[in-house]
Structure 1
Amino acid sequence: MTFDFATWLGRIKRLFMGYDKAFALFVFLLVCVGLLTLYSASIDVPSRVGDQVRNVVVTFALMWLIASLPPQTLMRFAVPLYLAGVALLVGVALFGLTRKGARRWINVGVVIQPSEIMKIATPLMLAWYYQLREGAIRWFDHMVGLVLVGIPVLLIARQPDLGTALLVAAAGLFVVYFAGLSFRIIAPLFIVGTLAIGAVLVSEEHICQPEVNWPLLHDYQKHRVCTLLDPTTDPLGKGFHTIQAVIAIGSGGPFGKGWLKGTQAHLEFIPEKHTDFIFAVFSEEFGFVGGIVLLVLYFLIILRGLMIAAGGTTMFGRLLAGGVTMTFFTYAFVNMGMVSGILPVVGVPLPMMSYGGTALVTLGVAAGIILSIARQRRLVET
């Protein structure tokens, strides 16, 4: 039996037919930038880069697998995945594993973190629900949508894990908004939130006193907010992360110090430099111009994802693609905000750049969903 190169090449091409090449390219470029930055951030622990390459291979394989599934198949997983995720979160609350003061894991033969499942399961469930109500969506359906978002968010916040709760809430609320929730409802909530933040800033000196207790928040969460307001109050403790990250970003200047030449990172001043604070390493070495290039890359991913969402062939596809696309925005905005000192430190990684497999796989699944919806449209058109 002879090897026919042309036949095998044709088979390989068919495996990738219909995929949105622009979106896949932007994601690939971002991953490459991440590996480049991680190499510099982990030059003292080179095994991390090898581990991350393995995570990237697994992520891209999973992304391709999800992208190969039609949206109708994804719909079938919506209810079971959401119910299983909520059940696991309840299990975490009852008999989960506690590590570093937080109960976020559960042993089901293997140790898993159910909150990660909900980053995908929540928008998937909401898109499925609104697809059922297509053409007859009323205000009550938005209330149901908010309840579907609120259940996992409250369970995750109790662990406590405000970073993941924020990501799950954002993914779900974007779907509810895209489904038609009136801006007249959103605007008052935004105004109330803005006024509340303003009141906090005005009363900063009083509310940050040790004897003042904050309802619904743990002490460490209170310290994070107070450190955000004035990190110099504890420069060697709670404020150390923020102060050193801001110094690293500022020291990069317009064009940066050059790859592998960041002093803040290599002299170990930046904590968690390979995970949550990798943006500080990148900014120090590539400067303001590099930061702009990175923002443009995220912008292109989000823009292309929203274009795919707008062109979806079903309401389910449009809502799901829109919701998971905005997950990239939430990750990037929160991470860059906390590293730059404009948001509290909540432990959110920089998408496709921070070291670690869990968040990378989650975002890979999100990217696969977007590619699946884009592929469905192209197959329908042809």
Structure 2
Amino acid sequence: MASQLTSRASRWWPRTVGRLATALPPGRVDWTLLAAVAALSGIGMLLVYAATYNPGDAQGAWNFLERHALHLVCGAVACVVAAALDYRIPRAYAPVVFVVAALGLVLVLTPLGEVINGSRSWIVVAGVQMQPAELAKIALVVAIAMLLGEPRDGETAPTSRDVLFSLAALAAPLGLVLAQPDLGTAIVLGAIYLGMLTMSGAPVRWIVGLLGCGVLSVAAVWWFGLLESYQVARFTSFMDPQADPRGTGYNATQAMISVGSGGLNGTGYLQGEQTSGRFVPEQHTDFIFTVAGEEFGFIGSATIIVLFALVVWRVLRIAANCQQPYARLVCVGIAVWLFTQVFINVGMTLGIMPITGLPLPFVSYGGTATVSQLLAVGLVLGINARHRGFE
């Protein structure tokens, strides 16, 4: 039986690779985007190892690194497959993807969900952790692109009816994410929707009205005390970390100390005292930028930011070249997603944004997040490879 399976795999793999190569010719691959993402992923492997390294137990860091490498391999496979697919295939299955993502968010709120750091955001099955909110981001992108990027006959832009349908699509994942509660992901979902709505050509009154409703909602949430106590603590510590440096302001204070201690060139790889002393919690996930700041210094940190800027610019450039509204909105949604998450993550380590628990794309340790982000890049690469042939 094993020999038969091996024989079938040996025949299937070359055919599959050949089909992928034919579907995605090298001349139509955005190598700049791919190189920037690969560089960030490589830097992430270095930082994950440094963040988990213990001179007395190096094996623990290797275990983290091996798992992270496996996540990257799975993400790379998803990226290649998504890039090789015709953009109309993900479009055709957008409703199915959206429903599956919504069901995942519902399951999080059942006994299958696990509370980590005060938020019920994970599903744990047989020791394997999944975070449906990460998949919900890409599901929202393709669903909103479908609703706003396909005007009816005789129309050139979304109508108020289309906007209402898209708001209904946003409400489902947004409400379920807030119920966890995961405020950081909720902010990203809102930013994705607003960015896509703005670029879709929808009536301006809707954009202005939603911005106003957003401001009023934030004020109402704060005024009526609808936030959890730990979420309130995060915001108050953001306003004045030194007010309680050993309590609510501890994370922000230690993060700024780590970044500042690196100076221009950094302390050197695996030589950071803050990093090796584990003064910053969750430094292999949410606060991984502090490791770069301490051990690689301003030059290393700036390099990471420049690479992210390059990624967002290339995605927006591909969006600008798209003639088909659906494909253009998919690229816009992914660009807004990445920009918002990077801005919040880096900002909270520098003390300019509240701590919300968002990982740094392509760099932080993570399974579902890594795969979903690389899958999103694959969608953009596939769109770019076929933008000349859009109907």
Aligned residue pair count: 362
Which residue of structure 2 aligns with residue 210 of structure 1? Answer: none
Deviations 1:174-211 (A, max 9, x none): 221211245565457657878999999xxxxxx9xxxx
Q: 1:344 aligns with which of 332, 345, 354?
A: 354
Kindly indicate whether residue 245 of structure 2 is the aligned counterpart of residue 232 of structure 1: no
Per the TM alignment, residue 87 of structure 1 is displaced from its structure 2 partner at its CA by 3.5
Q: 2:175 aligns with which of 149, 154, 158?
A: 154
**Residue 91 of structure 2 contacts residue 142 of structure 2 at CA under 8 Å; is this kept in 1?**
yes
Deviations 1:288-314 (A, max 9, x none): 222222111111100000111111241
Which residue of structure 2 aligns with residue 104 of structure 1? Answer: 121
Mapped partners of 2:186, 2:329: distance in 1: 20
Mapped partners of 1:275, 1:195: distance in 2: 32
Q: 1:108 to 1:181 in 2, by over 3 A?
A: farther
Which residue of structure 2 aligns with residue 165 of structure 1? Answer: 186
**Residue 214 of structure 1 contacts residue 222 of structure 1 at CA under 8 Å; is this kept in 2?**
no
Amino acid at match of 1:104: S
Q: 1:89 to 1:57 in 2, by over 3 A?
A: closer
Mapped partners of 1:160, 1:305: distance in 2: 30
Q: Mean Cα displacement is larger for which, 226-235 or 99-108?
A: 99-108
Per the TM alignment, residue 255 of structure 1 is displaced from its structure 2 partner at its CA by 2.2
Kindly indicate whether residue 344 of structure 2 is the aligned counterpart of residue 334 of structure 1: yes
Per the TM alignment, residue 366 of structure 1 is displaced from its structure 2 partner at its CA by 0.7
Q: Mean Cα displacement is larger for which, 264-273 or 239-248?
A: 264-273
Kindly indicate whether residue 144 of structure 2 is the aligned counterpart of residue 123 of structure 1: no
Per the TM alignment, residue 249 of structure 1 is displaced from its structure 2 partner at its CA by 1.0
Per the TM alignment, residue 315 of structure 1 is displaced from its structure 2 partner at its CA by 1.0
Amino acid at match of 1:116: E
SS at match of 1:297: helix
Q: Mean Cα displacement is larger for which, 29-38 or 343-352?
A: 29-38
Mapped partners of 2:340, 2:98: distance in 1: 21
Mapped partners of 1:166, 1:72: distance in 2: 29
Per the TM alignment, residue 259 of structure 1 is displaced from its structure 2 partner at its CA by 2.0
Per the TM alignment, residue 265 of structure 1 is displaced from its structure 2 partner at its CA by 0.6
Which residue of structure 2 aligns with residue 362 of structure 1? Answer: 372
Q: 1:104 to 1:255 in 2, by over 3 A?
A: closer
Q: 1:81 to 1:374 in 2, by over 3 A?
A: same
**Residue 245 of structure 1 contacts residue 340 of structure 1 at CA under 8 Å; is this kept in 2?**
yes
TM-score by length of 1: 0.85
SS at match of 1:132: coil
Which residue of structure 1 aligns with residue 197 of structure 2? Answer: 176
Mapped partners of 1:323, 1:261: distance in 2: 39
Q: What is the RMSD of the two structures over their aligned residues, measured on CA atoms? A: 3.0
Mapped partners of 1:125, 1:294: distance in 2: 31
Deviations 1:88-145 (A, max 9, x none): 4344445553424543345789864332221111110111112332525223322332
Mapped partners of 2:333, 2:217: distance in 1: 27
**Residue 250 of structure 1 contacts residue 284 of structure 1 at CA under 8 Å; is this kept in 2?**
yes
TM-score by length of 2: 0.83
Which residue of structure 2 aligns with residue 260 of structure 1? Answer: 270
Which residue of structure 2 aligns with residue 312 of structure 1? Answer: 322
**Residue 234 of structure 2 contacts residue 354 of structure 2 at CA under 8 Å; is this kept in 1?**
yes
Mapped partners of 2:99, 2:260: distance in 1: 46
Which residue of structure 1 aligns with residue 229 of structure 2? Answer: 219
**Residue 146 of structure 1 contacts residue 176 of structure 1 at CA under 8 Å; is this kept in 2?**
no
Percent of paired sites with the same residue: 34
Mapped partners of 2:190, 2:29: distance in 1: 29
Mapped partners of 1:302, 1:375: distance in 2: 17
Q: Mean Cα displacement is larger for which, 365-374 or 322-331?
A: 322-331
**Residue 188 of structure 2 contacts residue 341 of structure 2 at CA under 8 Å; is this kept in 1?**
yes
SS at match of 1:128: helix
Mapped partners of 2:47, 2:338: distance in 1: 19
